[in-house]
Chain A
Amino acid sequence: MSELLKVENITKIYTNGFVANKDISFTVNANEIHALVGENGAGKTTLMKILFGMEDYQEGAIYLEGEKLELKSPLDAIHKGIGMIHQHFMLVPSLSIAENIVLGIEPTKASFFDYNEAVKITSDIAKKYNFNIDVTKKVNEISVAQMQKVEILKALIRGVKILIMDEPTAVLTPQETKELFEQLVILRDSGYAIIFISHKLEEIMQLCDRVTILRKGRCVGTYNIADMTEAKISRLMIGRDVELKFNKKAKQAKNTVMEIRNLICVNDDGKRVVDNVSLNIHAGEILGIVGIEGNGQKEFSEAICGFSEYHAGSVRFNGVDIKGKSIRELRQMGIAHIPEDRMKNGCAMNLSVKDNIIGDRYFSPQFRKFGFLNSKAINRFVDQCISDFEIACDNRNQPVRMLSGGNIQKVVVAREFTSGCKFILASQPTRGIDVGTTEMIRKLLISMSHEKDVATVLVSADLNELLEVSDRLIVMRKGKIVAAFPTTQGVTEELLGEYMLGIKTMTAAEMEDLL
């Protein structure tokens, strides 16, 4: 096997002083699928961005086929032969697959765009690598898995030799994952190198040839998969054993907290993104919402928190209709919300830890004295939160932007969990967070609902998380509930995958009494 890419002593420091990569060295061969693993925050994303020319670095060098690379931009990286498949696809929805693939390198006839030629060359390359897609279809008509194929073809047609894939299976169902793997193996055998980034160790064991493990910005080492086990990789990644299984007591049915009837949300394009959903959520239970991203979970969860509007139906919280209530009123009634995007609306990055914890209650009598903010009471409370939730910060006045992702999420969680809520919506609460914090947040979700009778809705892309944490599950597809499970016992990821994909659907009668 020939060495294709060589990374030597890369060190990257961000301007906030955070050392993201320190002395990272590894090599990638042709005909190899090379896994890159590490906890979130271990420096995988940074390393990837460096390889793709999106970030510069302070020390070290990168060699491609023995030649030193000075990447200025992603375009530069593609020219040199390094392509990347992002988690979020960059496609033009209103154009056909063929047009998307040739965008920027269009074939021309008499200086006009030659659509037929574009279809021909794209379908040829799709056939060559056994990608089963119709290139004349528009991108807005195809599934996420197919969009991913389009992205891969985009890279291949530009002549890349190395494909970097950033958690490609995060958006796929188990069935789609299997298909992707078959294609990746074909690519490997045709001489490509693939850098495969994933959290799912079983996938790595199944697919990859070698693995490079990162921990806290440093390279732990590169190993042959044949010599490894999942447990070994996990220990090298984290440095200790982590328990992500929980002992849950069986829940008993309690009173209904949230009563949702025939809820309909329409998006800006006039499409029904939540379509006639009816559901009861009870005190003391965790309801998991399963579904491929973009099937209405986001709109549904934002609607029941009052963050965005719904267009028909009703949502009653402890018997009170929430229509027309402001977010502050809803919060005071006991609705809490861990938002999907902690950077965007979970906190204000430039404000201090303190300002981010008291955001929803700075006006409450507890924190006021003669109409002024009561610094003493606020500081006491914030310091308590910092120690209770183990937020690693210098002090309460440190701007949140200087904290790590996990600690930023702890700030969000500290605010939402101490709000005295009766209902909590947790959207992707552990996405992109280190294992230790993930463990803590999951435990908190369970103890809040089982010990304090909080009604909890968990929306997550992580099927394993949903199965571990939830008491019962529903599956959403195209804005509708297509399956409901009263317990997670006996439910597998594969079974959920079939419902997520629409291979199976439960009838209304089957789901009666389960919603």
Chain B
Amino acid sequence: MSKTRKIEIVFEILRIIAALLIAYLFILVVLVAISDEPAKAIYNFSIGPFSTVRRFGGIIQKAIPLVFTGWGMCFMYAVNRFNLVGEGLFIMSACMTTYIALALEAFQLPKVLMVLLLLVISIILGGVIAFIPAIINAKLNANIIVVSIMLNYILLYLTQYILTRLIRDTEVSYAASRSIPLNARLEKIIPQAGIHSGIIIMAIVYILVVILFFRMPAGYAMRVVGSNPEYAKHVGIKVTATIITAQVIGGALASLGGAVEQLGMNDRFQWTELTQHGMNGVVVAVLAKKNPILVPITAFLLAYIKQGAEVVNRTSDIPAEFIIVIQGIIILLVAADSFLSSARNRMIFKSALSPANGLKSNS
């Protein structure tokens, strides 16, 4: 049945490309409809992100945190748990690394040590917090989506407490922390593009994630449990423990993403609402077919669309928010299993009946 398999794979890829294309066309139609200078808006949207080094750097900057949260969701998906705690963890991690960096300011630690320490703390923090909804779901059978979304709000308001009570800079008129000490910041490695050393951290983590997911016994167990927990139990895999472990790893990755974003991009902690990085991680993971290998590519695609929207926003009369509508369309089309399925089935039927292929016997 290799022919059927091929058709299935081709249609899987087609579906994602079609979803992106439809969303892209929709953007162009919207731009034509609402812009006074549609040609300029379209140019800025599609070519704009590549027109200067700085703008291209912007794509990379936007992609880096999405890669981390996308990986996080891949682990959640691997064990079939729609745990959305990545959203809250992202902001929590950014806040906590800022807090700790400020608290350790007096010690004047060497940069490498300081950054490593903060990243390790963010990983532990993410794992510990992600454990909470995971264990509640496993032991009390509470809906993971509800628990994780509620937890996100707790995390958000906790960061606001820390921001206003513990790290707020009273010298400035808006809600922002004191300036992050220089020894805690990630170096800009390509200053003209604004790209920071978080991209190196990403590359290292990429290797680790792929190895863990595909080459380690633990990753294998996660995929088996996600695919069929009954089977996993039958062959002697510890189902509950595996499900929780995967979510802890997923949380750790999202949290690491928050720390890298904060230390690489920002001077102060000044977020006062959820950043949507976690939710965008869902988009990235779904587009990548929940495969961590493809996550950097899909994160780049999403970042490109976001950057295009930002360029349009800056150069014309279109609000950047319209990008959220576009994301919705992409998700809808990719997540909808039956999109293009009738065409796929027709091809399978045709190929199965073609005389060259012959009728397949059952054994």
Indicate whether B329 reaches chain A with its CB closer than 8 angstroms. no
Binds A, one of B61-69, B133-141, B351-359: B351-359
Q: Which residues B222-242 have CB closer than 8 A to chain A?
A: 223-224, 227-228, 230-238
> Which residues in B have their C-beta under 8 angstroms from that of A407?
363
Binds A, one of B2-10, B161-169, B174-182: B2-10
Shortest C-beta distance, B345 to chain A (Å), equals 5
> Which residues in A have their C-beta under 8 angstroms from that of B361?
216
Shortest C-beta distance, A310 to chain B (Å), equals 17
> Which residues in A have their C-beta under 8 angstroms from that of B344?
15
- Can you offer 24 A-B residue contacts whose CB atoms are under 8 A? A13-B353, A16-B4, A17-B348, A18-B360, A19-B353, A19-B359, A19-B360, A307-B234, A327-B234, A331-B235, A339-B234, A345-B228, A359-B224, A359-B232, A359-B237, A362-B217, A363-B217, A368-B217, A373-B217, A394-B1, A394-B2, A404-B362, A415-B235, A436-B363
Beta-carbon contact of A327 and B215 below 8 Å: no
> Which residues in B have their C-beta under 8 angstroms from that of A375?
215
Binds B, one of A92-100, A113-121, A185-193, A346-354: A346-354
Which of the residues A18, A42, A347, A362 comes within 8 Å of B220, measured between beta carbons? Answer: A362
**Complex Cα–Cα for A218 and B231 (A):** 34
**Complex Cα–Cα for A80 and B280 (A):** 52
Indicate whether A324 reaches chain B with its CB closer than 8 angstroms. no
> Which residues in A have their C-beta under 8 angstroms from that of B360?
17-19
Contacts from A to B (Cβ < 8 Å): 11, 13, 15-19, 22, 41-42, 58, 216-218, 307, 326-331, 337, 339, 344-351, 355-356, 359-360, 362-363, 368, 371-373, 375, 392, 394, 398-399, 402, 404, 406-407, 415, 434, 436-437
Q: Which 5 A-B pairs have the closest CB atoms?
A: A17-B4, A328-B236, A359-B235, A348-B228, A41-B362
Shortest C-beta distance, B135 to chain A (Å), equals 20
Shortest C-beta distance, A329 to chain B (Å), equals 8
Indicate whether B322 reaches chain A with its CB closer than 8 angstroms. no
Beta-carbon contact of B231 and A347 below 8 Å: yes
**Complex Cα–Cα for A404 and B363 (A):** 6
**Complex Cα–Cα for A360 and B238 (A):** 11
Main secondary structure on chain B at its contact with chain A? helix
Beta-carbon contact of A331 and B231 below 8 Å: no
B214, closest chain A residue (CB):
A373
Which of the residues A11, A349, A373 comes within 8 Å of B228, measured between beta carbons? Answer: A349
A39, closest chain B residue (CB):
B362
Beta-carbon contact of A328 and B237 below 8 Å: yes
Beta-carbon contact of A346 and B234 below 8 Å: yes
Indicate whether B216 reaches chain A with its CB closer than 8 angstroms. yes
Indicate whether B34 reaches chain A with its CB closer than 8 angstroms. no
Beta-carbon contact of A16 and B234 below 8 Å: no
Which of the residues A15, A346, A415 comes within 8 Å of B348, measured between beta carbons? Answer: A15
Shortest C-beta distance, B14 to chain A (Å), equals 16
